[in-house]
Amino acid sequence: MSHILLIVGGGIAAYKSLELIRQLVKAGHEVTPVMTQSAGQFVTPLSVSALAGKKVHEALFDLTAEAEMGHIQLSRVADLVVVAPATADMMAKMAQGRASDLASTLLLATDTPVMIAPAMNVRMWEHPATQRNLATLKADGVTVVGPDEGEMACGEYGPGRMSEPMAILAAIEAALRPVDAPLAGRHVLVTSGPTHEPIDPVRYIANRSSGAQGAAIGAALLRLGARVTFVTGPASAAPPEGATVVAVETAAEMLAAVEAALPADAAIFAAAVADWRVETAQARKIKKQAGALPGLSLAENPDILARVAGMAVGRPGLVVGFAAETDDVIAHATAKRARKGCDWIVANDVSPETGIMGGTENAVTLITEDGAETWPRMAKRAVAERLADRLAAALAAKDGTASGGRI
């Protein structure tokens, strides 16, 4: 568990700090909150304290706090100091080394890494003074997350919106990740979600896939330090924060995105790619006619897994496929591994009675050249973490063996 000292600045974006605290605590981090005086105009110390489960620090000359933990110690016990939102005034204080209140004093006294999530009006953000301060802070080693572009509370549009809490959480976890993380320096390609193969402008062929398992795998790999390229079809599950996301619709687009993302140390093909597409999609909606059924001529989609697994040059060191089956799961998945030429297959039973497809849990069997290993039913996040751990161990073992051959 990491310790975060969270400084909440005074701006309308302070309301996002409440969700950030909730997500940090949910992820297992300890949060010590500090609020500027103006932050209390937007969110209450009671709300911040309730979510963090800790007392909010507000005043520099709080004698009780000074007796229990002085501001110098408070500034140094955390693993990371995060300022969210970081207002233009706060950034100016930090750049100039001013210590006029508790928050700015903590920032000046700390030797802990600092991260800021700026939030302000677009004109304030683009002002030369703010950009000078930003350059100074970056030169001082401060990590900057955002800001995003969008509509402001004042009605203007442009850069200045504070990044969303999940994006800040991803940046925090990346900053806290040790340089010797199991997958540090590795590039892993992940495909996820369904593909949509158009019949006409309003209809398409697709598989039933939420993309939840693929998103969980991408997040697990990021937590182990990997650089993740996440190629996703039109999924309902949000992609993992921190990954390079490439959104596609069809199998052909997914193949092109996969080839563009290579080389990679490993590739995990969790997408539910449609096996077939309509040979010629109609430019206009096919009209229903009484007593007549339209004839659809189907063509086979490119086999992305087999194509990458069979690459003579540039093949990832570990290629993992998925097999969603409804009967004879292990037999069919074992045959698929041999047919596709991949290293591993993650097989699961997606019969309607299992509730796996589109659900929050999964029950898989990992099939390798050594045989089949059935895992107990567990949350998709747990499946992802177990698979990521196995992948990290396999890549490490590969590095420790003679070159050539497959895992």
Buried b (16+ CB within 10 A) or exposed e, 26-53: eeebbbbbbbbebbbebbebeebeebbe
Task: Say if strands 148-151 and 157-161 run parallel, antiparallel, or are unpaired.
Answer: antiparallel
106 annotated ligand-binding residue: no
Judge whether 224 is annotated as a binding position: no
The DSSP letter of residue 275 is S
303 is in an annotated binding site: yes
Please tell me whether 387 is known to bind a ligand: no
Please answer whether residues 98 and 109 qualify as being in contact, where contact means their C-beta atoms are separated by less than 8 angstroms.
no
What token pair was written down for 209? Answer: 């896939």
Burial class from Cβ neighbours inside 10 Å (0-12, 13-18, 19+) for residue 168 reads buried
Go through the chain and tell me how many residues it has. 407
- Tell me if 285 is assigned to a ligand binding site: yes
79 appears as a binding residue in the annotation: no
- How many CB atoms are located within 10 Å of the residue 376 CB? 8
Q: Is 302 annotated as a binding residue?
A: yes
Q: Is residue 342 among the annotated active site residues?
A: no
Provide the terminal-to-terminal Cα distance of the chain, rounded to the nearest Å: 33
Handedness of CA 153, 157, 160, 164 (dihedral sign): positive
Q: Is residue 398 marked as binding? A: no
Closest CA to 53 of 92, 21, 85, 16: 21
- Does residue 305 have a known ligand-binding role? yes
d(CA 317, CA 399): 10
Q: Of 153, 154, 299, 397, which residue is the catalytic one?
A: 154
- Name the binding residues for CTP: 275, 285, 302-305, 322, 336, 340
- Name the binding residues: 275, 285, 302-305, 322, 336, 340
Which residues are annotated as catalytic? 154
